[in-house]
Amino acid sequence: MGLGLYQFPKEEKEFMQRLFFIVIAGILMSGCASEKKKQELERVSNIAYTTITDSIYSSMPGKITALNGRVYWHDVTEADNFIHVVDASSGKEVYSFGNMGDGPNDFAMPIPSVSTEGFYLSDLQKGIEHLYVFGEDGACHVDRGSLEKNSEVTRMLHVGKSTIIALTPGAENLFKVSCNGTTQAGGKFPLSEKVGNAFYLYQGNMDYNANRNRLVYSSMSFPYLATYSLDGCKLSLDKELPEKIDYTVQDGNLVTAKDSKCGAMELALTKNHIVTLDRDVVVEGEKPKGASPRDPSTLPHSLFIYDYELNLTHILNMQFPILRICGDSQGDVVYAIVLSPEYKLIQINISSINDSRNAK
């Protein structure tokens, strides 16, 4: 008996044809949905904000952090009481602390950070660390401890009581995680080349959202974002958002092209968003050539809003230069130090981002 081709019954043949067209239509619709998702970026120019205080008397306000309705800002020009604590509701300064100097409780190179435990000031040059906690009575309590000295670390984050994540851009790995008496290196450098200027090249900002268990890192030398999850002492890369970088390697050092775009100046995390401070060239234009890096009028005006899948969803185009930003992962409020016309501290509720009719 010879072999012949099997003939589908008419009904089964029609069913297979319909199934084929359904699958093809699904693929096409999925492609359209993906394309639509890429086109969802929206620029917002009139989102509401609230001024917390205009009493930011400093020629150069440093890093700001937020915890439990208080904003901590670092006055890098002051030697005494260089950390200022502002109540976000009243706008009043409720406390100041931290002294620079040679004394046993003074700081030389302070690194501020917050966790669920409180506000930390760490100094890896002197090997000291202070934890500041506000009690229910409003008093500030200080717990003084020690740390191992380390010249590789440029940023630190505290996760609970026993875990520290350190940024080590010049080491063999981008991060070091210390927990329960052990240290584990990890993380992926944005570029694969081994270069001599890695310490400067990979300087950046990082923050941690405890509710989502997400560490976010952004490079300052060139555009790059990455998210990690933390399991014990181990960091696992979840997603990264690289951009093409024009560079050469000269004498073992990586040199970016003169017209290359820099990375985000600042990074902040809220409950549902990743926020970076960057220049929106479409609206603001290029940074003036030859402008002094100390000229605050050339600071970017825009906040780039991402979801935790690293999709850029909105750009907030503010009407004034922005110097510092931070977020509170319990909500969707961003705090910022802006120049309008002097330095002031404001807050932006980005949960109202779609209500572009809000009045200032």
Q: What is the pLDDT of residue 293?
A: 66
Handedness of CA 216, 219, 220, 222 (dihedral sign): negative
Q: Which of 214, 194, 198, 196 is nearest to 206 (CA)?
A: 214
Provide the whole-model pTM. 0.86
Q: What is the pLDDT of residue 42?
A: 95
Handedness of CA 298, 299, 302, 305 (dihedral sign): positive
| Dihedral over alpha carbons 295, 298, 301, 302 (to 10 degrees) | -110
Q: Per the structure block, which two tokens stand in for 354?
A: 């779609």
Would you call 217 helix, strand, or coil by DSSP? strand
Asked if the structure places residue 37 within a domain, the reply is no
What range does the domain containing 72 cover?
42-352
Q: Per the structure block, which two tokens stand in for 174?
A: 């981008």
Would you call 36 helix, strand, or coil by DSSP? helix
Asked if the structure places residue 29 within a domain, the reply is no
Asked if the structure places residue 11 within a domain, the reply is no
Q: Which residues share a beta bridge with 48?
A: none
Q: What is the pLDDT of residue 137?
A: 85
Asked if the structure places residue 282 within a domain, the reply is yes
- CATH classification of the domain holding 144: 2.120.10.30
One-letter amino acid for residue 347 of the chain: Q
Alpha helices by DSSP H, 93-237? 198-201
Q: What is the pLDDT of residue 17?
A: 54
Asked if the structure places residue 78 within a domain, the reply is yes
Asked if the structure places residue 106 within a domain, the reply is yes
How many domains are contained in the chain?
1
Q: Per the structure block, which two tokens stand in for 229?
A: 């999850």
Question: How would DSSP label each residue in 133-171?
Answer: EE-TTS-EEEEEEE----SS-SEEEEETTTEEEEE-TTS
Distances (CA, A) of 45 to 42, 162, 315, 326, 359: 10, 42, 8, 20, 11
Long-range contacts made by residues 337-341, C-beta under 8 angstroms, separation at least 24?
337/56, 337/61, 337/64, 337/73, 339/296, 339/297, 339/299
Asked if the structure places residue 333 within a domain, the reply is yes
Q: What is the pLDDT of residue 290?
A: 65
Asked whether 144 and 105 are in contact (CB, 8 A), the reply is: yes
- Counting as low any pLDDT under 50, the low residues of the chain are 1-6, 8, 15, 19, 21-30, 32-37, 39, 357-360
DSSP 8-class letter at 317 = E
pLDDT tens digits, residue range 296-343?
Answer: 889 999 999 999 999 999 999 999 999 999 998 889 999 999 999 999
Backbone φ and ψ for 128, nearest 5 degrees, come out as -125, 155
Asked if the structure places residue 82 within a domain, the reply is yes
Close Cβ partners of 20 (under 8 Å, ≥ 6 residues apart): none
Taking phi over 0 as left and psi of -120 to 50 as alpha, with beta for the rest, 91 belongs to left
One-letter amino acid for residue 215 of the chain: L
pLDDT tens digits, residue range 129-187?
Answer: 999 999 888 889 999 999 999 999 999 999 988 899 999 999 999 999 999 889 999 99
